[in-house]
Amino acid sequence: MRSTHALRALGLASLVAIGGISLQPSVASAADPVANTTTTNITARTTLTIRQRIVKIALAQRYDQYVAGGIGPDTFDCSGLVRYVYRQAGVSRFLGGGHSARMMYLWGVSHHLTSRTHPRLGDVAVWGRGSHVGIYIGNGRVISALNPRQDIRVTGVYALGDPFTAYIHVRLP
């Protein structure tokens, strides 16, 4: 059986390994008179990038219900999910094309933002030349609103019935 200290160290090491975690020593100041300057307290502070925030918000919608024309917060169609996530992340202005998957794809093409390679977290994945869209979450996986039987699910990029078309490499700050 592991001690409490060993478990805490293992948990902290796991958080650091995942990424987005920084370790900073606690420093006494007038604003924080409780901090002890003779010992260093290590605190974990999570700082998510915009792309990580998009993925986190998207994953929180897993298993929500698919409804044609759904735009959230509990029911979505494919483009409604993408729009909702970008809006919640505060970056909807960086993704054009309106509500439909086809218009998002055409917007990406017209702005030279599409390719079939090198996706980044939060990029929009397109299938069937705009018949379906989802959000790239890393490791060859996407999250998308599939249909009334499957709802919102994580799948592989190439696991869907329609052929994969491209990623829209959204230019996020």
pTM: 0.74
Could you give the CA distance from residue 114 to residue 123 in angstroms, rounded to a whole number?
Answer: 10
Could you give the CA distance from residue 139 to residue 120 in angstroms, rounded to a whole number?
Answer: 10
Which tens digits make up the pLDDT trace of 68-122? 999 999 999 999 999 999 999 999 999 999 999 999 999 999 999 999 999 999 9
Could you give the CA distance from residue 133 to residue 100 in angstroms, rounded to a whole number?
Answer: 9
Which tens digits make up the pLDDT trace of 21-69? 333 433 444 444 444 444 444 445 568 999 999 999 999 999 999 999 9
Cβ burial of 35 (10 Å; 0-12, 13-18, 19+) is middle
- DSSP structure string for 45-70: EE---HHHHHHHHHHHTTTPEE-TT-
Going by pLDDT thresholds of 50, 70 and 90, the confidence category of residue 173 is: confident
**Domains of the chain and any CATH numbers:** 4-46 (no CATH), 50-168 (3.90.1720.10)
Which tens digits make up the pLDDT trace of 111-155? 999 999 999 999 999 999 999 999 999 999 999 999 999 999 999
